[in-house]
Structure 1
Amino acid sequence: MFGIHDMAIDLGTSSVLVYVKGKGIVLKEPSVVAINKNNNQVLAVGSEAKLMLGRTPGNIVATRPLREGVISDYDTTQKMLKYFIRKVSKYVRLSRPRIIICIPTGITQVEQKAVLDASYDAGANKTYLMEEPIAAAIGAGIDISLPNGSMVVDIGGGTTDIAVISLGGAVVSDSIKVAGDKFDDAIIRYMRRKYNILIGEKTAEDLKITIGAIYPPKEQKSMEVCGRNLISGLPKVVNVTTDEMVEALREPADIIVEAIHSVFERTPPELSADISERGIIMTGGGALLTGMDKLIQEQTGIPVYVASDPVSCVVLGAGKALENISVYSESALMDNSNSPVYIG
């Protein structure tokens, strides 16, 4: 059985959330690590490292070791996990905890093993994997054990995971590499195309969070942005409006809607009827993008609801699995010694 201070981790492309059994969510930090290239020493992790993005000298690199929902830099991910586990240990006594880590739907066995090995090397006694849409559904308050169809759309930083869940498992699912990062990329391309200026990832993310929208809101917003003029090479300030963000963000939003349509096409009729009645649940940071729920509802004709705490749904769901391990038994998890099986 899981000990009192074992952990659940949402190892996201944009951020890491940690849930400790009996304590709740104890940590939420960006998935960023700053490293000195000369000696490979970690200089900062999380919020401190994120402040360095795009601002470091040649000998320092601030990087995000997870891309599109999977580990792109194993060594840096292992160091980041070790840092967060030690940081949590300051608040609660942890001695080689057992950990549930949430992963996107459909990642390969090689990618699964990379997550398991990184966690073990970071100090875990045993690590189990849980699919993100299953965790998100539990965190959103859905009873996944019922013989009813529920659809969850989890828009994270690197991937959008879509799953139709019934009787404790995903009946139909898909994971696409279009999510928060692609929204940021779309904003960067738009600013280059319209204003001939180059902005960084952090500025694009600030635009998305502050004035980003899929449908124009009733109240028009604007934001001043400073970028590098691609002709003169000098800084240039422009005023960007919400209407412009609608234009910039619509393409990746439409791709997500197409993926939802694709999942519906493979869903058994009985479960489709359940979803039409119960609606679609949106989780993840992308659920907070103004008008995203309206676009999905308009294109599918099905009610769409945003979870009460969409950013934390995945880790809360994994945390509930920790708290109720008799319901979500250890035999339904993938660990670093067994063959691939999951919660759900």
Structure 2
Amino acid sequence: MYGRVVLVGLRADIGIDLGTSSILVYVKGKGIVLQEPSVVAVDQYTNKFLAVGEDARSMLGRTPGNIIAKRPMRNGVISDYDITERLLNYFIKKSLNRYLFKPRVVVCVPSGITEVEKRAVTEASNNAGAIRTYIIEEPIAAAIGAGIDITEPNGNMIIDIGGGTTDVAVIALGGIVVSSSIKVAGDDCDDAIIRYIKKKHNMIVGERTAEKLKHNVGCAYPLEEEKFEEIKGRNLLTGLPVNISVSSSEILEALQEPIGEIVEAVLSTLEKTPPELAADIACKGILMTGGGALLYGMDKLLSKKTGIEVNIAHNPIECVARGTGKSLAWMNLLGGK
């Protein structure tokens, strides 16, 4: 009787969008195979992973004393090295089935992080199971994922609004000419909503409720027709659970500060852009990627402030991961470690 033959691949190169709010994994030849929140639930006593991804996200704000549900990435960089390493190891193993050799990995990072922070990402990836790790900056990956030919001499402007950082960059001839990276993005919008509800309605809500408000009635530009969302939380004065209705105009007011900082970063980058490239951008427009691009009216607001047409990339959340994956074709140029 003959044994079963198991086909084993030699190596799978993978690209990882290591985001503050979510992790996307791209496997060469397969596309995006995994997209999950970058949240883990850990038992403090045993240091054991109890849940990862969506399961862990559902535990945020609901765990007993011995369990911590946390995000190991803050503002686009590693805040908990050990947890990040274990998280990467989990996702690499989950993304790959049967391969003989360890994978080569391209990891995407914000354009403004330091060399020390890049080294931390590289070491975490290598210790998690990569044979070699390459680093690519988010604006470059976003442009590639959006289908832009970055090798042309023409200028392209990319605005990538993620969970922890917003990257604004002008790209030409395969590199970043001018860029700005600020630690203001989707998570800061959630925090702004939490502060607003507390101040305006004397009510405490959690991260998930704030994110729900942002998705359902959030806007960066006034809506033609007002929207309302009913939420539950705890009243500060009585300590009892209450229900309130929140309008889109209230969320617009709540988001003024973080959105204003993003607009300033875009204007600042345009001011530093060489005139020839600025002329290219004026003709071609600005491209937005990342989850923040889906906030209603963000493109309209930026277009009004800059006087330049602003377009949202197709499937903006996946742009960085797709670009990271496509960059696998020219790994040697990225300088891996």
Q: Scaled by the length of structure 2, what TM-score is found?
A: 0.95
Q: Secondary structure at the match of 2:239?
A: coil
Alpha-carbon distance in structure 1 between the residues aligned to 2:223 and 2:303? 16
Q: Deviations 1:231-276 (Å, cap 9, x if unpaired)?
A: 1111111001111111111221111010111111111000000000
1:76 to 61, 70, 83: 83
Q: Deviations 1:32-52 (Å, cap 9, x if unpaired)?
A: 000000011111110100000
| Structure 1 residue 263 corresponds to structure 2 residue 247 | no
Shift of 1:218: 2.2
2:234 to 228, 232, 241: 228
Q: Secondary structure at the match of 1:165?
A: strand
| Structure 1 residue 87 corresponds to structure 2 residue 94 | yes
Q: Secondary structure at the match of 1:247?
A: helix
Instruction: Give yes or no for contact 2:169–2:180 (8 Å, CA) kept in 1.
Output: yes
| Structure 1 residue 6 corresponds to structure 2 residue 13 | yes
| Structure 1 residue 137 corresponds to structure 2 residue 143 | yes
Alpha-carbon distance in structure 2 between the residues aligned to 1:93 and 1:194? 55
1:64 matched residue in structure 2? 71
2:104 to 98, 115, 123: 98
> Letter of the aligned partner of 2:274 in structure 1?
P
Alpha-carbon distance in structure 1 between the residues aligned to 2:138 and 2:197? 33
> Letter of the aligned partner of 2:48 in structure 1?
Q
Alpha-carbon distance in structure 1 between the residues aligned to 2:77 and 2:151? 28
Instruction: Give yes or no for contact 1:154–1:161 (8 Å, CA) kept in 2.
Output: yes
> Letter of the aligned partner of 1:65 in structure 2?
P
1:119 matched residue in structure 2? 125
1:253 matched residue in structure 2? 259
Moved more, 106-115 or 52-61: 106-115
Instruction: Give yes or no for contact 2:233–2:242 (8 Å, CA) kept in 1.
Output: yes
Shift of 1:93: 3.4
Alpha-carbon distance in structure 1 between the residues aligned to 2:296 and 2:112? 28
| Structure 1 residue 280 corresponds to structure 2 residue 286 | yes
Report how many residues are paired.
328
Q: Deviations 1:49-93 (Å, cap 9, x if unpaired)?
A: 000000000000000000000000000101111111111124x63
> Letter of the aligned partner of 2:25 in structure 1?
V
Equivalent runs, 1:1-344 vs 2, <5 Å: 5-90=12-97, 93=99, 95-322=101-328, 325=329, 328-330=330-332, 332-336=333-337
Instruction: Give yes or no for contact 1:5–1:94 (8 Å, CA) kept in 2.
Output: no
2:5 matched residue in structure 1? none
Alpha-carbon distance in structure 2 between the residues aligned to 1:329 and 1:22? 15
> Letter of the aligned partner of 2:336 in structure 1?
D
What residue ranges of structure 2 are gaps of 5+ in the alignment?
Answer: 1-9
Instruction: Give yes or no for contact 2:11–2:103 (8 Å, CA) kept in 1.
Output: no
Instruction: Give yes or no for contact 1:151–1:162 (8 Å, CA) kept in 2.
Output: yes
Moved more, 294-303 or 212-221: 212-221
> Letter of the aligned partner of 1:202 in structure 2?
R
Instruction: Give yes or no for contact 1:211–1:223 (8 Å, CA) kept in 2.
Output: yes
> Letter of the aligned partner of 1:55 in structure 2?
R
Shift of 1:4: 5.7
Alpha-carbon distance in structure 1 between the residues aligned to 2:102 and 2:42? 25
Alpha-carbon distance in structure 1 between the residues aligned to 2:101 and 2:19? 24
Instruction: Give yes or no for contact 2:11–2:101 (8 Å, CA) kept in 1.
Output: no
Alpha-carbon distance in structure 1 between the residues aligned to 2:301 and 2:331? 37
Q: Secondary structure at the match of 1:243?
A: helix
Instruction: Give yes or no for contact 2:134–2:331 (8 Å, CA) kept in 1.
Output: no
Instruction: Give yes or no for contact 1:296–1:304 (8 Å, CA) kept in 2.
Output: yes
Alpha-carbon distance in structure 1 between the residues aligned to 2:124 and 2:101? 17
Shift >4 Å, 4+ stretches: none
Q: Deviations 1:134-175 (Å, cap 9, x if unpaired)?
A: 000011111100000000000000000000000000000110
Q: Secondary structure at the match of 2:255?
A: helix
